[in-house]
Structure formats: C-alpha cells, structure tokens
Amino acid sequence: MPRMKVVILAGGQGTRLAEETEVRPKPMVEIGGRPILWHIMNIYAHHGHKDFIVACGYKGEIIKEYVHNFFLHNSDIAVNLKDGSHQVLGTSSVDWRITAVDTGLNTMTGGRVRRLKHLLGDEPFMVTYGDGLGTIDIAALLAFHKQHGKLATITAVRPPSRFGELILEGQQVKRYAEKPQTSQGWINGGFFVFSPRVLDLIEDDATVLERKPLERLANDSQLMAFQHEGFWQPMDTMAEKEHLEKMWTTGSAPWKIWT
C-alpha cells in the first residue's frame, strides 16, 4: 500500500505515571535516553511510513519544542561564540516529517483525531497511542486492511502479565518468565488503520474513540482485528517504564527493529 500518514495520540495527562508526567507529557518520558514517542516513530519509519501528525494536549509545548529542535539535537555542529555563526558538521539521517498539533487540553481520543481532519485528506491513515510499543508488522497490518476492505482495522494483542509466570513441576520451578504475554484473551493494542469515513463517526471533542465510534463500526461489521501474537507493552506505570528501560539497556528490546 502507499505511504500513509501516522497519527500519534499524545495529549493525555498520564496520571498513573505522575512521577514523570508532572514535568513532561507522557510521550516524552524517556526509554534509553529517548522519548517513547521517538521509539514509536522509529517502528513506523522502519516500514517506510515517515509522515507523522502528533495530536498534542497536556504540556504539548514540550513536544513542539522537541520537534522544532530535532534536527539540531541529532546533528553535530560547531558554533562560533564570538558572532553566533555555526556550521553543521554531520546532519541527521532521519528524513521524517513531523506535524505537532494542539488538539486541546481536555479533548478525548476521538475528538483529537477529528481535529486533524484537515490534515488527513481523503486517504486511509494510521493511528496509535503515544505510550505503547510492540513488534507489530506494519506492512502485514496494512496488507490485512487492504484485503478485507472494511472501514477500520484494530490491532489485537495479548495483554502482558502483571507478574512473573512460574511453570511448576510439583514444587519445583521448571521455568520462570518475567512479565510474559498472557495467552488469555485479546485487547486493543492501538496501531489502527482507518478509512477517512471513520471521521464521520466522531461527533465532537468529547467523543472517546474507543466507545461509540469503534462500537458502531463493530456493530456495522466494519471493524476487523489484526491479531498480533508477538511483543506488545504499554507504559502506564513506573514499573512498566522501568521494565522497558531494562530491556533497552540490556540490548533485549524486541521493538528495536531499526538499525
């Protein structure tokens, strides 16, 4: 499928991560010294989708400053402090386009997408949350969406276990797995693909995407699930943030598919 715009929902207050989000929006909380927003964009960019629209809200100015200074922070420069002149010595290899849009402080998820209608045009687009990482095969997701021909695709994931899993033989532990994916049920993992007609189902700023719009799409047989069996992990709590950090620093981050 052709390259698509990617909407990243980045406006929530992240109250369960208050230790970090008192001073920054949740998508700017860092994993391995980089905002989780950067990690999410890298997943899409690896598959060739590099046109991002970040739906900002709470402390959105911090995201705008990050985007504005991205080139500077990812390039080597020499500055003459006498006259302020500077020379770029090594430029960033990133060729993304990032549009950061204020979609309101208290706007709900559906309302944030609706406010971006003028930027999305008449082509299908992708949407995901600014706090979830995974090994989703974006190319396979889009192929699935094209094949079924419905208005919307949601990525269904296995929820990560809150606790370590013990495999016992009698009283002996035969295997221990720290926070594995559970085999029970499917949940909404984000990584959506939408027809522009989905925007017509969003009434106003108060519309929660995950309620009336998705419920109606399901009732009308217009919502399909791309089942992802691999790694998926949200960052809702400090424990989850530390879990992701540990994976990154030990070189075992499964979502790092780029080089």
Q: What is the mean pLDDT of each run of 10 residues along the chain (259 residues)?
A: 90 81 91 96 96 97 94 85 85 87 96 97 96 96 96 91 67 64 80 97 96 93 94 93 95 92
Q: What pLDDT is stored for residue 94 in this prediction?
A: 86
Report CA-CA distances (Å) from 64 to 24, 27, 51, 102, 120. 12, 12, 16, 9, 19
DSSP at 196: G
Among 54, 43, 58, 186, CA closest to 127: 54
Q: What pLDDT is stored for residue 45 in this prediction?
A: 96
Stretch (H or E) spanning 65 = helix 60-68
Q: What pLDDT is stored for residue 150 in this prediction?
A: 95
DSSP at 31: E
Q: What pLDDT is stored for residue 75 in this prediction?
A: 82
- Taking domain 5-249, whether its CATH number is 3.30.930.20 is answered by no
Among 54, 13, 61, 58, CA closest to 37: 54
Tell me how far apart the alpha carbons of residues 205 and 210 are, in angstroms, rounded to a whole number: 13
Q: What pLDDT is stored for residue 175 in this prediction?
A: 67
C-beta neighbour count of 180 within 10 angstroms:
15
Among 93, 92, 113, 117, CA closest to 104: 113
Instruction: Give the tokens for residue 43.
Output: 């997943």
> E strands along the chain, which residues?
5-10, 30-31, 34-35, 51-56, 76-79, 86-90, 97-102, 125-129, 132-134, 152-157, 165-169, 172-177, 187-188, 192-194, 223-228, 232-234
* 118-131 residue pLDDT tens: 999 999 999 999 99
**How many CA atoms lie within 13 Å of 156's alpha carbon, on the beta-carbon side?**
12
Tell me how far apart the alpha carbons of residues 189 and 137 are, in angstroms, rounded to a whole number: 13
Q: Which long-range contacts (CB under 8 A, 24 or more apart) does 160-164 make?
A: 160/232, 160/233, 160/234
Instruction: Give the tokens for residue 154.
Output: 């949601």
